[in-house]
Structure 1
Amino acid sequence: MNKKKSNIILNTVTALVVTVFFSCKNNFKDVQQVGVLQNEPIGVADTINLKYTDSFQLRANLLSPKMLDYSNRDFAFSEFPKGVELIIYDSDGNKSKIFADYAIVYSETDLVDLRGNVILATHKKDSLFTEQMYFDQTKEWVFTNENVRLRSEGTDINGIGFDSDRDFEEYEMLAMQGDIEVNN
């Protein structure tokens, strides 16, 4: 009888161990999300001053009163609900500024989405106004497909769409209309 009890206990323990072993799974991501709601940011920061450098040279500077960090999402991003000032430096150290009421920076694509009363002020005193603009940090390219207004010395142009290099040396606007002064 002793041997029978011993076999029953051994079989029971073996069954429990096998059950526990096969019920375990790797849920490290789930554990990381404990206490973090899916739609909530993983972090909140005030008074942001983000600097982007390349080869020891300052290339861009993003300033904002508030940042929400959503790096806990599958497609990570940072949100700037209280607006931004994006300063872009050219190779000579001249700076152009972009202001917007709201912005999102997508981590995986290095794309900055600027929205609401977007103003681009170049170091040459040119100004561009639109409701949405993108800055591709990888390609160093500024663009929009929205209505735009470009003002520079003697020029006030309305149009749709705008593409430019990061230094605003070469740009293109589609469907232009307005007063254009041409100097020969």
Structure 2
Amino acid sequence: MLDWRDRAYPKLIRMRLTYRNIISGIVTLTGVTMLFSCQGNLKEIRALDLQGNDPQAIAKDLNLKYTDSGRLVANLKSPKMLDFSNKDFPYREFPDGLEVEFYDEDNKKSTLTADYGIIYEKTSLIDLQGNVVLFTSDSTKLEASQLYWDQDRSWVFTDKPNKIQFPNGALNEGQGFDSNQNFGNFRSRTNIGVQIIEEKTDE
């Protein structure tokens, strides 16, 4: 004859196992839920970070030298640079202005200054604004309120008012122009000014 305890203990053991399994399952489920919740929050934080307006880096008293095969090509100076390379369309901004010195193959220097500048990395386009002044190595002087410089095509252009004084004394004031960066191929849209034309005599 079985004792009542012999019949009760298996049920008790089964009940303990069942409760243990339930508690273990709840702990596991809670842990998994927390894990996915943390991963979701991390993704949201990263998304907020990428969508924020803050730059990923700030540089002060910048002095960058660009070289090509050991030869100095350009020297960029600026009090402050904001690096937004973390954006979908990355760019670098110079809110306090910049000065750039360019050197040609004969080491002749041209200088460019502006109150504000922004460089778009994907297009190699530079947008210069506010008191833009360019002195080329042959003494050509350009003054404009805004100037775009396409580095890949070595081309400068604007649709804003501008004034250009050439080395021979010619003066051009107009609303927009396109030119290669040494002004050897210059096309003005609307302009007034003084042009110097050399007369050639037949011998």
Normalising by structure 1, we get a TM-score of 0.83
Equivalence for 2:116: 102
Query: Which residue type is aligned with residue 75 of structure 2?
Result: N
* Count of matched residue positions in the alignment of Structure 1 and Structure 2: 183
Of residues 172, 177, 181 in structure 1, which corresponds to 2:192?
A: 177
Distance 2:71 2:178 in 1: 24
User: Aligned with 2:87: secondary structure?
Assistant: coil
Of residues 65, 78, 81 in structure 2, which corresponds to 1:51?
A: 65
Task: Select the structure that is richer in helix.
Answer: 2
Distance 1:60 1:29 in 2: 41
Equivalence for 2:12: none
Q: Which has the higher contact order (CA 8 A, sep 6+)?
A: 1
Q: What is the RMSD of the two structures over their aligned residues, measured on CA atoms?
A: 2.7
Of residues 163, 167, 170 in structure 1, which corresponds to 2:182?
A: 167
User: Aligned with 1:75: secondary structure?
Assistant: coil
Larger Rg: 2
Distance 2:23 2:76 in 1: 67
1:150 Cα shift? 1.1
1:1-184 pair list within 5 angstroms: 1-23=15-37, 24-25=39-40, 27=42, 30-31=45-46, 38-152=52-166, 153-184=168-199
Distance 2:52 2:35 in 1: 30
Shift of the 174–142 alpha-carbon distance from structure 1 to 2, 3 Å rule, reads same
In the TM superposition, structure 1's runs of 4+ consecutive aligned residues that sit over 6 Å from their partners are: none
1:60 Cα shift? 2.0
1:88 Cα shift? 2.0
1:68 Cα shift? 2.3
Distance 1:141 1:29 in 2: 42
Shift of the 38–92 alpha-carbon distance from structure 1 to 2, 3 Å rule, reads same
After TM superposition, the structure 1 stretch with the greater mean CA deviation from structure 2, 57-66 or 122-131, is 57-66
Query: Which residue type is aligned with residue 146 of structure 2?
Result: Q
User: Aligned with 1:167: secondary structure?
Assistant: coil
* Percent identity over paired residues: 42
Shift of the 88–162 alpha-carbon distance from structure 1 to 2, 3 Å rule, reads farther
Measured against aligned partners, the alpha-carbon deviations of 1:23-82 in whole angstroms (never above 9, x if no partner) come to: 334846835977x99233333322211222233332222111222223343332222122
Task: Select the structure that is richer in strand.
Answer: 1
Extract unaligned runs of 5+ from structure 2.
Answer: 1-14
